[in-house]
Amino acid sequence: MTFQYNSKAHFLYAASHNELQSMGVTITSGSDFEEYRELLATARPDHALGEPFEPARYELTEQNAIWMVGRNEAGEIIHTQAMKTLPTLHLSLAEYLSRNLREFEPSGMDIDYGRTVYRAGPGARRMKGTIVYHGEFWVGGSPRRGALLSPALGKHAFLTALDHWRPDFTFGFIAKSLAFKGFSARFGFMHNEPDAINYVLKNSEDTFAGTMGYMSSEDLHYALDLPYAEQIASAA
């Protein structure tokens, strides 16, 4: 498949929206994160908007950020995800994360940053240019539903990133327990840096380890050229 980047309908709506609609999921999107907060309050009342997408702290516009929600045939929200570009300028991703780790604080966790450790892997040290952060990923319903939808939703995220920003790299953090269960591969990340972050909670010895999944622009092109049915078969 050859992607025509000036044809949004060709690779975004036709290749991604239609696939999801065939699975009973309709995607809507926007860049108003106060609106997204309201949607979360209805769909996921136990989940607070994540720090990376807090509009009171970061300037989030249609130029640098987007949220997506998926609804089932009854109109209920069963999926969320969001992305934004990072103002890394001349810095590598490793340097940016080392200086701005608080920007990626997990929702609902009181982090002790004096004891939290970020370990920059070789991939993060190489990443420069237009870098997109992906987060807020959630699929409601049965575990089986999530396993089948994740490849399609990951493909949708990558197509959206390509359509909006043509990034040099796309990355996200995945809880270690989910990474070990194969979520990163089902979503579509082709590379992982294990134990990239080891969060420590305040007034506690409890820790929360995170894997960093990532893809380069070349990886994105390769993954999006794979037959969709083949990806679903692998996820199942």
Give 163's contacts (C-beta < 8 A, 6+ positions apart).
5, 8, 11, 12
Residue 217 lies in a domain: yes
End-to-end Cα distance, the chain: 24
Total domain count, the chain: 1
Residue 77 falls within a domain, yes or no? yes
Q: Of 164, 169, 166, whose CA–CA distance to 62 is shortest? A: 164
* 2 within some domain: no
Residue 178 lies in a domain: yes
Asked if residue 140 is part of any domain, the answer here is yes
| Token digits of residue 164 | 């909006």
121 in a structural domain: yes
pTM: 0.89
Query: Is 3 inside a domain boundary?
Result: no
Q: What is the DSSP letter of 5?
A: T
pLDDT exceeds 50 at position 3: no
- Taking only the tens place, the pLDDT of each residue in 22-77 is 889 999 999 999 999 999 999 999 999 999 999 999 999 999 999 999 999 999 99
Residue 224 is assigned to a structural domain of this protein: yes
**Residue 225: which CATH number?**
3.40.630.30
Provide the domain limits for residue 195. 8-235
Backbone dihedral region of 153: left (phi > 0), alpha (psi from -120 to 50 degrees) or beta?
A: alpha
Assess contact for 87 and 181: CB atoms under 8 A: no
